[in-house]
Amino acid sequence: MDEAARASVSTGVAPGDTFRAQVAELARMKEALKAGPGPQATQRQHDKGKQTAHERIAALLDDDSFVEIEGFRRHQVTGFGLEHNRPHGDGVIVGWGTIEGRQVFLYATDFRVFGGSLGEAHAEKIHKVMDLALATGAPLIALNDGAGARIQEGVGGLAGYGGIFQRAVRASGVIPQISVILGPCAGGAVYAPALTDFVFMVRGTAQMFLTGPDVVHAVTGEQITHEDLGGAGVHATSSGVAAFVSDDERSCLRDVRYLVSLLPSNNHEAPPSASTAGVPEADGERLLDIVPANPRMPYDMVRVIEELVDHGDFLEMHETWASNIICGLARIGGEVAGIIANQPAVLAGVLDIAAAQKAARFVQTCDAFNIPLITLVDVPGFLPGSRQEHDGIIRHGAKLLHAYCAATVPRVQVILRKAYGGAYIVMDSRSIGADLSFAWPINEVAVMGAEGAANIIHRKAIAAAPDPDAERQRRIKEYRSELMHPYYAAERGLVDDVIDPRSTRRVLIRSLSALRRKRTPNVDRKHANPPF
């Protein structure tokens, strides 16, 4: 008789029954972990219009795909009453699952436990999942709803943030990193999402700030609410921290799923392709009505983009920040592309500091993840003025120039109407490395507009003429016909072809297809030194 049989005879309990009891206890404990600290805490979360961490994970991932790890982890701190309050999980849920069948890693802070604050065990769980994401080459998603460092644990929490920051930088440009702000995010905690590639926020419940309203009031005397200091509206419109803003958590998490569907898993892969069944290669008749021939008349460039991309689906980033330039992702002919475009409906599409920063970051992100770039140009120049100059338009404009020059992905430029001065060069001109450049037959590429050029070149002649206004108009017409006609740049090899606007989509599809195997040799250096 073996040992198990002898034990069952002596106790009267079959070995399998003991095992089953233990398995049943494990299932009970896991259900308790999922339930969290209790129904009252869950109800308080729901009363704020927020889901629990597990509910958020379920909404984000494919059904039944989440695998949790370190669910039984607890802090080991004594003192300040923590020795009597050691919940499993320590306020953060970590693991992996799938989005549309593709693996992602994630962590989700649980506001019901210690307010989602970060202690040593909490941080080590996040470190673990970040290391796994980088080691396996899979996107990392952070669902943030926490109150910053856990004060009772002292410097241990701060060191935990340091580990997160260091790992985020190590993973930068290797795997996509996405932060979703679903509640408060304060103090040093804000730098974790700031280091990631994309930040989502939810109106009314998400806030980000280094110092809260109480500290602001104590130091400066200013009275301000949490929402006005660091709400989603502020970071979507003023600071540019938030790339995407949603009205509620469910729509936010749907947008995260859509973004992931457009990104590669890591920097060694191409973005996922999609079927083009039922999508016409070209149908651009409406473009002739959307874009006015008069270069001074505004129009909405988003409508142009929607005519060019598959199904009209365009995921715009930073829609309300620096909206004189447009940045976003779409599929063209089934393949993902990053689109940068001037927006003539806002400030005539001029480039300024914020626009340069926004576009430079986007170009750099696309290049890191093998996403081809399409640049739609209709730009009158850089925004003039002492404020722009004193605030560093030279340095910030150079960020965009550096980003384009350093980009190794396929790059296609289309000049719709005008491209004047240094802004023409910066908007991915052939001279800074665009692979292909096309122009519509109404394009004007020049140092500046004809009016300004004529006034400078022929200032004396205009002033001395019997009829200065007539002379000015004659000189403007002369400059436009000799130096700004639609084929001037093409004649000099700065534009590859002048195309029928209605064929733009077809030209883009075929150009990206031709450039798909583009390879650029690496430069032997540690790293570039961009004008940060």
Cβ atoms of 191 and 161 closer than 8 Å: yes
SS3 string of 46-85? HHCCCCCHHHHHHHHCCCCCCEEECCCCCCCCCCCCHHHC
C-alpha triplet 75, 76, 82: angle, nearest 5°: 75
Cβ atoms of 385 and 349 closer than 8 Å: no
Among the listed residues 95, 156, 187, 231, the single catalytic one is: 187
Name the 3-class secondary structure at 393: helix
Which residue in the block uniquely carries the two structure tokens 């009275």? Answer: 223
Q: Would residue 423 show up in a list of annotated catalytic residues for this protein? A: yes
Name the 3-class secondary structure at 468: helix
Is 475 exposed, middle or buried (CB count within 10 Å of its CB: 0-12, 13-18, 19+)?
A: buried
The gap between the terminal CA atoms of the chain, to the nearest Å, is 76
Among the listed residues 392, 422, 433, 452, the single catalytic one is: 422
**Interatomic CA distance for residues 153 and 159, integer angstroms:** 11
Among the listed residues 71, 173, 188, 212, the single catalytic one is: 188
Closest of 318, 62, 302 to residue 199, by C-alpha: 318
What is the crossing angle of helices 504-514 and 301-308, to 10°? 60
| DSSP-assigned letter for residue 427 | T
Q: Would residue 187 show up in a list of annotated catalytic residues for this protein? A: yes
β-sheet bridge partners, residue 177: 140
Q: Would residue 149 show up in a list of annotated catalytic residues for this protein? A: no
Closest of 410, 418, 425, 321 to residue 374, by C-alpha: 410
Edge to edge, what strands does the sheet with 140-144 contain? 67-69, 92-99, 102-109, 140-144, 177-181, 198-202, 244-246
Cβ atoms of 424 and 379 closer than 8 Å: yes
Enumerate the active-site residues: 187-188, 422-423
